[in-house]
Every structure is written in structure tokens, then in C-alpha cells.
Structure 1
């Protein structure tokens, strides 16, 4: 076997107030995840090994594996099964990024050249497929129930992405599909897209950790629900950051360029103030050119819709924390509460 691109050093964020003994276990677990990830993305063909490891080597937050590890620590703690579950979730996430970048025609991902820009669209799609297959192979070692969960998660992820892509492709007509005639309906439809395309995989990350960490069924259910809610908060924070600053190595305003109706855009569209007419017009379609993008960002950043979206994100973060009340107390639960804080505060 040839050695492919390194999967990168484990990204272990410092969680404020985390128990020192727990932090040490998390570091050990994330190192094991990084080693296993590097092992499974390797390939006997040097080019495939390089392309498969391209985004893994760029680093990233490793948020999903971290959640798997923390959820396992609510029970008996991490083990080899937890590590494989975390790797399966991260591989699924990485595979989706290869496909996302092709659809978005992205040039950058995680601060490096995107796989589609480096290797071409066809190779990027095929490598994404290869990584999905690798994820399934890793998860298969965890048993039939884990395979079923992986399959269900994959279906939801793809369905959410299809609806999200369709929304952007249809531009102004998407307002009708999303229920724009009914503001609450539009927001509910958008949040369901986020629950599927982002929340489902993060829910599975928490579910796997709880399952293979030996938690009881009630705890597994509570942590699964927590993970999905956290995933929606995570994506809403990313959406706000896409307006307010550069994020994930990609230029600000990517969603506006694609014509996506994110939460702040949906709120801005409800304005009947004539002074907001230009902003509403810009957010009804993909913005074109650097000047239009700069104008749209300037108007949206100054609009009350941003604070409205932040408040909504904060409410969902509170709901995620409340789900942890069903789990009990302990260092791992406190770390999960702090994780919610860290995710939500990214949007402030």
C-alpha cells in the first residue's frame, strides 16, 4: 500500500470549563480517530490516495467526531467501536464536501484549493463516491443497526441537499415552494432542509457515540435529538457567518451568490419598508458580480433581519441545551452544553 495524504492532526478545540481528565481522554480519542481516518483514506493507487486525503489533510473542525467522542463519554467512554463510528461519520461529511464543491463551483475549501478546482469535477465526484463507500465499509464493521442508521442518514442528507439546491436553482420561484406567502411556513421549510442536510449527520454522530459508549436507550434518544438540534444551530451560525465574515476558507456571500434563501434572507424578504426594496430585490435571485455582492452584503449586514436570525438561532440553542436535561449531569454533559455555547456564539 502506498501512503496517501495525511488526514491531518486531530482538531481538538478547547472547550471552556471542560474537566481536565475528560479533556485528556478526548485528546487521546481524537488522535485515534485521526490515525484511523488516515488509514482508511489511503489507497494503493497514489493519485487516489492523494485525492481522497485532500480535504482530510486540510484539517477542519472535526466537529462530528468530537461529538461522537463526547456522547460516548456520557456512557462508558470511547473505545474502538466509537472511533470507527466517528471515522464513518467524518468520512460521510468529507464525501459530501467533495460533492458540495462541485455543485457550488467552489475554488476554496478549508483555506486550500477545492478538490474540484484541483482535480476536475468528474474526479471530485468520484472521490466523493469513493469516500461514501469507504464510510459504509467502516460502519459495516459495527453491525446491522449501524448500517441501517448510516443508510437512513445518507438518504436524509441527500434529500435535504436536493431541496436546498432546488431552492437556489429556482431563484425567485423558490419563494413560493418554500412557502414565502406564509412567513412561518418559509422558515419552517428552511429549518427542515437544515435538519436533513446538516442535522441528520450530526444527530447520527451523537447517536453512534451514545450507542457504542454503552448508554441506555433513553439516553441514546435524548442525545440523538440533541445532535439534530445542534446541527441546525451549527448551520444557522454558518449562514450568519456567510454574511458577516469569511468562513471555512470561503469568501463571504457564497449563499447570496447562489441565490439561497437563508434565515436572515427570509426575514429580510418580509420587510414592507420601501427603504428595503433594493435588498429584497437582490435577495430574490443570485447576486451578480462583485459590486452587487458588496451592495447586498452591506445592506443585509445592517438590516434587523440579522439580529432576528441571531435570536432564532439562540432560541434553538436553548432547546438543544434543554434536551441535555434529560441525560443528567456529569463532565461529558457539561462539555456538551459548552459545545452548544461555542456553536451558537459563532453567529454573534
Structure 2
């Protein structure tokens, strides 16, 4: 359960970290700028559109576990915070091309303004700049960043390929979420703690925390993809459905179908998907049916369960401000759909 105290501590630490976050934002702007000015518009397109900056915040939060006050907001910690956000931004450029997404963060997606080729290359360039920053943190940081990118790509490929015949579709999907989203959140949590010399047991627990909380976040996004309007989420409702991606609510309905427990309303939803969502009216009809179905509540419950799983990993941390703030962080990611 969420504690009001945890939320207060989270707000307090956010305020304390505000100067470091401002510095991260400044460097982020530098890293998405082109010296000649030719590429600045496309490189800074999503960075300027906003975003929650959850991953940099997580780096800075876990760095507060360090005993040396100066190390907690050192250049190395801030560099890691910028690097994880750049890596995240790079994946968004690529995801939007693959999904043919018309909007992101309330603005037209990059490939809609420029082209698929330019959006892909912009993502590549941003990731390359992230890699250059990580190189300043040492060989172990480079290895971890590379391993994270492996998981990011692996998750995207497995999502595209789909489950094998003998795979459980829901388990397959949750692994995709862990790789596509959890991996970078996990690395963000690990980076901060590791850079300030936190004990290995805490670093490992924070990695598992990030992995699970990333899954919770993405399940919550699956709900928001259906339940939120464009003005709230910055994305077109049902984008994944239109691209033929079965998100968790649909997978739950398909499991009901396989088990013979699918209700009439669920049948209408699956029939609507089978009929194709090429036009806006067909997509809107399926989205409205999903909004009225209890499968969205079941998906919300799963998001909360994954958040609780993440919070259980924090038992490895000593009681204090950082642990309380991380508990509140986990709640924050799913409060959007609670």
C-alpha cells in the first residue's frame, strides 16, 4: 500500500535534486544539438517535447545511497543520468517508425515531420552520443550499457516475431516488456548506486527493482493506450492495436477465449480486431468496447502486482529517505491507472 510519508519524502528528495536535474536537462539539450545547426531540429524534437525524465531521476535517487555527499551528485552520476535519457530517446525514434505512430508526447512523431530514414538515423546518432558519454564512466559501465542495448533490441525483435507455438503468449509478452522497458529502468537504478559505491547486494536488488517496476510501468501504459485521450497521453489511443500488437488487455481476452470463459463483449472486441482497424472508425469502436470491459481492471491489477514485486526488492535497502522515495517512485508509475 502507498504511504503518504513515502510520497512526502519523494517530493522532498525531488526538490533537493532539482539543481542536479537542471544540470542534466542542460547537458541533454547540448547532446541533442548539432554544431552546424542542420540537425538540431530533429535531434531535439522529442527532448524538447518534454517527458517525465524518470530514468535520470532514478539514477540521481539511487546515488543518494552513497556515503560521500559530493559523490551523490558528481559529474559521473549526472553523466549517467543524461546517458540513460538519451538512450531512452533513441528508442522512441525507432519505436515510432516501427509502429507508424503519428504522435509522441503531444507532438507529431519525428518520421511524420521528416521521414522514416531520417528518424532512424537520428535515433542512431542519439544512441551513439549516449555511448560516448558512458565511455567516460569506465569499461564496466560500457559493458552494462551495451548489455542493456542488447536487451532493448532483443525485446523489440521478440515482440515483432511473436511467441512460438509452445510459448505462453502472456509470459512471452511480459518478457518483452522486461527487455524493452525494464532493462533501461533497471540500468538506471543500478548506475546511480554503483557509481557511489553502494554494496553489491543493494546494487543487484536495485537492478531487479528497476526491471520489475519497468514492467509495471509498461502494463500501466497498456491501460493508458486504451483509457486515456490523446490530450492526456500525447499518443493516439489504440496505436498498438492498429499496428497489430496484442497488448496485455487483448492477451487476457485471448486467454479467456482459449479457456472457454470469454464473454459476449469480449467476443465483440476480438471480432473487431479480426475485422481490421485500417480506418479510424473501426479503431475507435474497439477502443470504446475495451474501455467498457472489465479486462482493463484486470490489467490494472497486474500493474499493481508488478509494482508490489518491485517494492519487495527494496527490502535489501536500509530504512531511510532513499528507500521511502523509491517506494513512492514505484507507486507513482502505476498511480496513473489506479
Note the alpha carbon deviations across 1:289-325, whole angstroms, 9 max, x for none: 1221122112212222212111111111111111111
Alignment correspondent of 1:102: 97
| Selected match of 1:160 from 151, 155, 158 | 155
1:85-234 aligned within 5 A: 85-167=80-162, 177=165, 179=167, 185-234=168-217
Gaps spanning 5+ residues in structure 2: where? 1-5
Provide the C-alpha distance between the structure 2 equivalents of 1:140 and 1:129, rounded to a whole number of angstroms.
Answer: 17
Higher deviation after alignment, 268-277 or 61-70: 268-277
Question: What SS does the aligned partner of 1:46 have?
Answer: coil
* CA pair 294-49 structure 1, distance change in 2 beyond 3 A: closer
Alignment correspondent of 2:270: 280
Q: Does residue 251 of the first structure (1) align with residue 236 of the second (2)?
A: yes
Q: Root-mean-square deviation (CA), in Å?
A: 1.8
Alignment correspondent of 1:64: 55
Question: What SS does the aligned partner of 1:45 have?
Answer: coil
Q: Is the 8 A contact 1:178 1:189 kept in 2?
A: no
Question: What SS does the aligned partner of 2:181 have?
Answer: helix
| Selected match of 2:44 from 41, 44, 53 | 53
Alignment correspondent of 2:3: none
Note the alpha carbon deviations across 1:14-71, whole angstroms, 9 max, x for none: x831267533331111111111112222222212122211111111111110111111
Provide the C-alpha distance between the structure 1 equivalents of 2:210 and 2:204, rounded to a whole number of angstroms.
Answer: 10
* CA pair 295-44 structure 1, distance change in 2 beyond 3 A: same
Q: Does residue 83 of the first structure (1) align with residue 78 of the second (2)?
A: yes
Provide the C-alpha distance between the structure 2 equivalents of 1:285 and 1:130, rounded to a whole number of angstroms.
Answer: 39
Provide the C-alpha distance between the structure 2 equivalents of 1:206 and 1:307, rounded to a whole number of angstroms.
Answer: 29
Question: What SS does the aligned partner of 1:17 have?
Answer: helix
* CA pair 329-257 structure 1, distance change in 2 beyond 3 A: same
Q: Does residue 261 of the first structure (1) align with residue 246 of the second (2)?
A: yes
* CA pair 214-143 structure 1, distance change in 2 beyond 3 A: same
Question: What SS does the aligned partner of 1:266 have?
Answer: helix
Provide the C-alpha distance between the structure 1 equivalents of 2:205 and 2:242, rounded to a whole number of angstroms.
Answer: 37
Q: Is the 8 A contact 2:224 2:233 kept in 1?
A: no
* TM-score normalized by the length of structure 1: 0.88
Question: What SS does the aligned partner of 2:9 have?
Answer: coil
* CA pair 118-314 structure 1, distance change in 2 beyond 3 A: same
Q: Is the 8 A contact 1:29 1:83 kept in 2?
A: yes
Note the alpha carbon deviations across 1:60-97, whole angstroms, 9 max, x for none: 11111011111111224221111000111011100111
Shift of 1:120: 1.2
Q: Is the 8 A contact 1:219 1:326 kept in 2?
A: yes
Higher deviation after alignment, 86-95 or 115-124: 115-124
Question: What SS does the aligned partner of 2:316 have?
Answer: coil
Alignment correspondent of 2:312: 322
Q: Is the 8 A contact 2:189 2:210 kept in 1?
A: yes
Provide the C-alpha distance between the structure 2 equivalents of 1:80 and 1:153, rounded to a whole number of angstroms.
Answer: 22
- For CA contacts below 8 A with separation 6 or more, give which structure has more relative contact order: 2
* CA pair 338-47 structure 1, distance change in 2 beyond 3 A: same
* TM-score normalized by the length of structure 2: 0.90
Provide the C-alpha distance between the structure 2 equivalents of 1:64 and 1:178, rounded to a whole number of angstroms.
Answer: 35
